[in-house]
Chain A
Amino acid sequence: MPVLRDAVRPRRHLRWPALGALALLVAGCATDAPQDSLDPAGPAARTIDNLFGPVFLVAVAVFILVQGLIIYMVIRFRRKGDEDTSFPAQLHGNTRLEVGWTILPALVLAVVAVFTVPVIFELNEEPENALVVDVEGQKYWWGYEYGDQAMVPGGGITTANELHIPAGEPVFLRLQSNDVIHSFWAPRLNGKRDVVPGRQHTWTLEADEPGVYSGQCAEFCGTSHANMRLKVVAHDQASWDEWVASQQAEPEVPTEGLAADGYEVFGQLCASCHVVAGQYDEVAESSPAAPDLTHLFSRDCFAGCIYDLNDRNELEAWLRNPQRKAGSLMVIGELAEAQIDQLYAYLTTLE
């Protein structure tokens, strides 16, 4: 595991109050943090961590040197008695020392630079045979599209909030924004890359193991920037194939019960913005970008991944008031409780 933690752990044994505080901070490191950049779960994040670790150690060495000197001088050269106005040797400087402490740090930094520059280029390379995903950022959620390619035969998958990828495979993201600047960040997989309107930026992700990796928008993008979260879901091969197949299937139109009523309500209130493939394919041209709901209930979270989709209350509260997420662009008006039940029943058919 990260060089950093192993390196600083011994400090916990120190009893000095100042270092005690530091130890507390280090202890903070050990708590379970799903967005811990020091706990890489993919090659890019590991490359970065392997670079950061040694640099951090160098920084710690300089830290100990400087702080140690300060503490030593404060104790050793402190004036004994206020009346002591005697003079120490009046040293004006020392050119050799100056040259030394100019060149030495420059050399250390040159070494750091030698290790840094190749990594910059390495992380910007486009991987071969990668799964390509088009990522669209907008206030305040992420959308993903998968075109026809080897790993997604037939393509045609559109989803939101949760980015599904096969584990152990490089994934090449083409990032675009529909409004302002966002930044795509799943810390355990890679650093962040800004998503700038009018440009297409690219970024690579890869997860070593199947699992769920937390992330969020990292460039301030407006009122609910804090609520623009995301998940990266990495599958093993079998469950990846299954996921692709399920996403390519079109849900059936419900024909009876609440769900059938909900289908109608959706048509009146939701379909001008939200696509349900095979049922409501056309959205109004003037509508803001809205998540594709074709397979809504194959996901675990919604509305920028801040609400649990498995909790019925969360979705009902959302239908009552989309502004519970401040700045949400969703406008649905006031719904009767019956309509909410109908809509909920319909939405659960979209698996």
Chain B
Amino acid sequence: MALTESRPLELTTGSEVVDSPLGAFVRPQGSTGWRSWVTTVDHKKIGIMYGATAMVFFAIGGLEALLIRLQLAQPNGQVLSLEAYNQAFTLHGTTMVFFVIMPLLAAFANYLIPLMIGARDVAFPRLNALSYWIFLAAGLFVYSGVVLGEIADNGWFNYAPNSGLTYSPGHGIDFWVLGLQIAGIASLIGAVNLIVTCLNMRAPGMTLMRMPIFVWMSLVAQFLLLFAIPVITVALFLLMFDRLYGSNFFNVEAGADPLLWQHLFWIFGHPEVYILILPAFGIISEVIPVFARKPLFGYPFMVFSGVAIGFMGWGVWAHHMFASGIGPVSVAAFSLSTMFIAVPTGVKIFNWIGTLWKGNLKFSVPMLFAVGVVSQFTIGGLSGVTHAVAPADTQQTDTYYIVAHFHYVLFGGSMFGIFAGIYFWWPKAFGRFLSESIGKWHFWIMFAGFNLTFAPMHILGLQGQPRRTGTYPEGMGWDIMNLLSTAGSFLIALSFLVWVFNVVRSRTNVTNDPDPWDGRTLEWGTSSPPPAHNFDVEPTASHLDEWWHRKYDEDENGRPVRRESYETFAQPGFDASTIHLPSPSYWPILLAFSLPLISYGLIYSLWFAAVGGVLMIVAMYGWGLEPSVDPDAGHGGHGDDHHDDHPTPDPTDEVSSMSEVGAAPVPGA
């Protein structure tokens, strides 16, 4: 297992983890080897592991995309067989949604939320570790199917009844169904954890309307996950029972209606779109004010539009089914709801423009990516409005026009936003800069490659090229656009390599400045990288953008004036042994890896499931009986070991719940 963990880590940190300690990689209270990563419950390490793992999957999903584009570069492509092509686009979609963008956003949420709200960690640190390991287990499980040659080939939305045993007799769909159920557990645990963290762990004085906008958008996304994951879990369960036990939920011969799957999938699937984009909106809403040297324009409107999207996102799912024959009344209703969800989205775009307006704009790399999101997401949003016009959508749906649309949203929006965040918070997380000059190459190559790949797909779709078709004849008028698109995809791949090079180079690009961008939120007030306990001095908040207000006073014209001196949250020579942090634990990783074992059991032999079940029960008991306060680690702890993972919320005193999380003594201190 150690191998699988250390590989992704190399990606973000260069080849060495131990020899040149990168701050966050070193737990001052623990060993620095691989064990400290496997057993960590530190939200920052978990965030970094989420990010590193997801970037490995991004490379894999990208290779799948290149195969797809190579096959379609010319008519009658011979690069892949049709079987392989169908597997490639299924894996590409599944990987990018569940194993790249979701965990990358989880990486940001894990790393940043406690820092931004002035907490020592998330509410349930061991659960946090559990959700990471379950996510990794799910990804490895799905790709173990690839190694075994059992690859799903029915697209990422896997419509019934083609997903049933009759039409998909191999184990590919089984790996997909079980893998996504495992991944769903990870998301659900993470959602509960982060919701409780946002609601209960904020620094004294940080009211909800003083919460950084990234935390707000992530909170909305976690609520969406909390309600959306159960829906797809139901769908996956029904399909699993159909396949394993002949339960006939989607068996048409037995009277089933296969549209049931579509409704369940999209009741999950559309909120999922907002799960993938809202936190990225949050990231760029943090980045743009810093590089414009202005506060976010219309903060309350940004918050409420995000919440509005969160609610309205539940009422638009059937716009994925305008051609499915659901009847004109349903079509009209979902057509209207889909049009009007564009309103809060538009509010966000206009507020970003309001923030940029008359700003003092510095185009560092994070800002380039952030403005790239505003520009490119707008294109995706506008093509989305044309889908809302249901009759037009009957021409567009299942064509490359849709493929163009959602890549403008998910790549031009989410991935560009994620890269904005990576460049922005890299010096905070690692005490190193990603190079500005290499970063600009990265941005411009990716920007050009992205638009070259996906803009022609609008034309292809309107000219009638359906998605999910691994070959097309000559004479359809699609040749040039497909060739351009393929060329663009290789530019994207090149830009990714430039980024990897930048990551490797960043090892020598050390900074001691904890606040290099003149940031606005609490994380910039502690050292870079932050200590395990995040803040030497517990923050309090009396403003939105608290850290900014500590640095700047206002003159009579409302212009900021730098204060002569201000207190930071880092104190040189601070004695961390007084801070109580939960101890590392082996149980989360053991519990997580019982799930793929049980899944192999359901596919191959119940003996695997028996072993997995025993491991699960042992891990759960071990977890339950393990004091999160390590009694051998000194400091006597704070008593009630069985509850300290579950701080009692005390609405009148948020500090008390915070200190409960810190109830464990520092191991080895």
Residues of A within 8 A of B (CB): 21-22, 24-25, 28-29, 31-38, 45, 47-48, 51-52, 55-56, 58-59, 62-63, 66-67, 69-70, 73-74, 77-79, 82, 84-94, 97-98, 101-102, 105-106, 109, 112-113, 116-117, 119-121, 123-124, 179-181, 183, 185, 187, 190-194, 196-199, 201, 214, 216-227, 229, 306, 326-327
Contacts and interface: CB of A to CB of B under 8 A. Distances in A.
Contacts of B36: none
A181 B361 CA distance: 52
B332 A37 contact: no
A120 B328 CA distance: 6
A68 to B, nearest CB: 11
Interface stretch (B79-87, B175-183, B598-606, B615-623): B79-87
30 contacts: A28-B481, A29-B463, A33-B477, A34-B477, A47-B391, A52-B392, A63-B378, A66-B378, A77-B292, A78-B361, A89-B358, A91-B295, A91-B354, A93-B297, A98-B347, A116-B332, A116-B388, A117-B336, A120-B335, A121-B328, A124-B328, A191-B391, A196-B257, A196-B258, A197-B258, A218-B399, A225-B86, A226-B469, A226-B470, A226-B472
Contacts of A28: 456, 459, 463, 477, 480-481
Contacts of B86: 220, 223, 225
Q: Which interface residue of B383, B394, B469 has the most chain A CB atoms within 10 A? A: B394
Given A37-B464, A51-B392, A197-B252, A223 B82 contact: yes
A56 B76 CA distance: 32
Nearest to A195: B325
Given A58-B385, A77-B357, A88-B360, 10 more contacts: A25-B458, A31-B480, A33-B478, A67-B375, A74-B363, A88-B358, A198-B255, A218-B323, A219-B323, A326-B82
Contact of A181 (B82, B159, B362, B382): B159
Interface of B: 81-83, 86, 153-155, 159, 161-162, 167, 252, 255-259, 292-295, 297-301, 323-325, 327-328, 331-332, 335-336, 339-340, 342-343, 346-347, 349-351, 353-354, 356-363, 371, 374-375, 378-379, 382-383, 385-386, 388-399, 451-452, 455-456, 458-459, 462-473, 475-478, 480-481, 484, 518, 554, 558-560
Contacts of B297: 91-94
B324 A194 contact: yes
A52 B389 contact: yes
A70 B154 CA distance: 40
Contact of A180 (B167, B328, B395): B167
Nearest to B90: A220
A152 B14 CA distance: 74
Contacts of A73: 353, 356-357, 359, 361
B433 to A, nearest CB: 15
Contacts of A85: 293, 360, 518
A309 to B, nearest CB: 15
Contacts of A66: 349, 353, 374-375, 378
Contacts of A117: 332, 335-336
A37 B458 CA distance: 12
Contacts of A183: 323, 398
A327 B85 CA distance: 13
Contacts of B154: 220
Given A106-B340, A106-B343, A32 B477 contact: yes
Given A92-B297, A105-B346, A223-B86, A70 B353 contact: yes
Nearest to B155: A220
Contacts of A84: 360
B342 A105 contact: yes
A101 B346 contact: yes
B358 A222 contact: no
B152 to A, nearest CB: 12
Given A55-B392, A77-B361, A91-B354, A198 B256 contact: yes
Nearest to B363: A78
B77 to A, nearest CB: 10
Contact of B339 (A109, A187, A196): A109
B476 A224 contact: no
Contacts, number: 311
Given A31-B480, A66-B375, A197-B258, A326 B293 contact: no
Given A116-B335, A222-B162, A191 B394 contact: yes
Q: Which interface residue of B153, B351, B360, B466 has the most chain A CB atoms within 10 A? A: B466
A220 B162 contact: yes
Contacts of A225: 86, 468-469
A72 B37 CA distance: 47
Contacts of B459: 25, 28-29
Nearest to B301: A98
Given A29-B463, A191-B394, A222-B162, A97 B354 contact: yes
Contacts of B356: 70, 73, 77
A21 B455 contact: yes
B471 A226 contact: yes
A93 B359 contact: no
Contacts of B375: 66-67, 70
Contact of B471 (A38, A193, A222, A227): A227
Contact of A51 (B83, B359, B391, B478): B391
Contact of B347 (A38, A51, A101, A181): A101
A218 B398 contact: yes
Contacts of B252: 197-198
Nearest to A101: B350
Contacts of A229: 473
Given A91-B358, A113-B336, A181 B258 contact: yes
Contacts of A192: 323, 394-395, 397-398
A326 B167 CA distance: 14
B394 A90 contact: no
A281 B552 CA distance: 90
B296 to A, nearest CB: 8
A112 B294 CA distance: 36
Nearest to A98: B301
A52 B397 CA distance: 14
Contacts of B350: 97, 101
